[in-house]
């Protein structure tokens, strides 16, 4: 995953939150398949007993949940907000 510091952590937190919304493995498989992950990878990831933070870093979770997709879902970029505050377009 590309990114550094707060940006990648925020994206991982977004992945984790979306992963936790699914309670059952079949729902996880269905949702991950919508993102374009292979069926085998989706099943292995959904049946894993690892926690949501670990699973957010897997290929299956990151295939479709890109930064662009998370932005469309309403997740704001911490990096963009920080730049707007500290480097405004007009001088102070």
What does 59-78 look like in DSSP terms, one character per residue?
Answer: HHHHHH--HHHHHHTTPPPH
Q: What is the mean pLDDT of the chain?
A: 79
Q: For position 92, what pLDDT does the model report?
A: 63
28 alpha carbon, distance to own chain's centre: 14
Residue 2 has pLDDT above 50, yes or no: no
- The whole-number average pLDDT for the span 56-72 is 80
- 32 contacts 60 by C-beta, under 8 angstroms: yes
Q: For position 80, what pLDDT does the model report?
A: 82
């Amino acid at each position: 995953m590309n990114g550094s510091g707060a940006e990648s952590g925020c994206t991982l937190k977004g992945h984790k939150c979306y992963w936790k919304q699914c309670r059952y493995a079949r729902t996880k498989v269905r949702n991950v398949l919508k993102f374009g992950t292979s069926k085998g990878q989706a099943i292995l990831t959904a049946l894993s007993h690892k926690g949501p933070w670990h699973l957010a870093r897997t290929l299956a979770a990151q295939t479709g949940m890109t930064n662009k997709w998370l932005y469309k879902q309403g997740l704001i970029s911490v990096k963009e907000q920080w730049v707007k505050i500290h480097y405004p377009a007009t001088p102070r």
